[in-house]
A and B are shown apart, each in its own frame.
Chain A
Amino acid sequence: MTTTHTPEFPTLAALGSPEALAFDDDAVGRLSRSLSAAAEAEGLVDVAYRSVDTPVGPLLLAATAAGLVRVAYAVEDHGAVLELLAKTISPRVLKAPKRLDTVARELEEYFAGTRRVFDVPLDFRLATGFRLNVLAALPRIGYGHTASYAAVAELAGNPRAMRAVGTACAKNPLPVVVPCHRVVRSDGSQGGYLGGAVAKSLLLALEAGTRG
């Protein structure tokens, strides 16, 4: 799908040498950073994103003007997630790290064990109906605690909707920040997780203070 044209005609060959192309790529990198800043200043970035490296792998963070709208694990394919955001929210999607500075810092503190609660504004527009009720209920499971799917169903106002709780967790647009990892099976086993079993056990161990 890349349609970048590089000069490949003998007369223009000097413009297409590896050194010249590297120079141009550097220039574009610098220009796109200042484009982001200018676009932010003019309110033209509908979805800003960046990624952060964490113990559970690189996480994609995306925010609208209203707040954090998406956190995505690498297994979800960050490119595909951004394409979906472009289609469902707005195609004005730009790498604009500044808007995500606060949540990036809070995640760093969380993974360092020094933060228990996230207090950035959240934009829940990607979840509706009962799924939204579930997401709203999840923060009531405190740091270091777990709850069963049945218990969360009850917290969300529909005690029989255990399967729907499972779906809501599997489709949580804001994992880690909205703690669906604290939902486990009633027999005490860990259960599934959208970020994979390894990520879930790491988060639970981190919060239990047994990660080492």
Chain B
Amino acid sequence: MVPSPGRVPFEVLVEHHGAAMLRLCRALVGFQEAEDVWQETFLAALRAYPELDDGANTEAWLATIAKHKATDHHRRGARLPAPMPELPEAADPGSAVGLPLEAAELWTLVATLPPKQRAAIGYHYLAGLPFARIGELLGNTEAAARRAAADGMKTLRARTNGDLP
């Protein structure tokens, strides 16, 4: 146990970033798998927390861990046939009770976007990361990340307006 000047209790991190990270995980791996990835993310973060640099941006740090956990998750699931996106209610009765229909439908639409677009939207609009950082996470550039998010948002806008199937 190492004393850490400036480090807040881990519970505070969960309280402050838990919901945003859950939404990010949903964008990265879909609604049904998000909770597992969230757990793995926060457990890994807790393990590494004492070694985190003081003054580090904890949100960007958590988002990076979420990215790794989502990648692990995709790798594990790679051998399985890719499931068609379903409405969350169908997947896990109980866990989605109380989720408004509009939100459920939007999550389903997000799941239909190409992975980079989903990720860019998740990192920027749901986790609040700047595009320069997102470019690094996606292995491309700030401009490419910005474009991916814009393209994804455009598709979502069109689909929520019923302009696209």
Contact = CB atoms under 8 A, between A and B. Distances in A.
Interface residues of B, number: 49
A3 interface: yes
A35 B14 contact: yes
Interface stretch (A16-24, A107-115, A148-156, A168-176): A16-24
Given A19-B98, A83-B8, A85-B9, A7 B39 contact: no
A17 B8 CA distance: 29
B126 A35 contact: no
Contact of A28 (B14, B59, B107, B121): B14
Q: Is the interface of B mostly helix, strand, loop or mixed?
A: helix
Contacts, number: 146
Interface stretch (A38-46, A137-145, A193-201): A38-46
Given A14-B106, A46-B1, A87-B7, A21 B153 contact: no
A118 B153 CA distance: 60
A82 interface: yes
Interface in A8-32: 9, 11-12, 14-15, 17, 19-28, 31-32
Interface of B: 1-12, 14-20, 22-23, 35, 38-39, 42-43, 46-47, 49-50, 59, 95, 98-100, 102-103, 105-107, 121, 125-128, 153, 156-157, 160
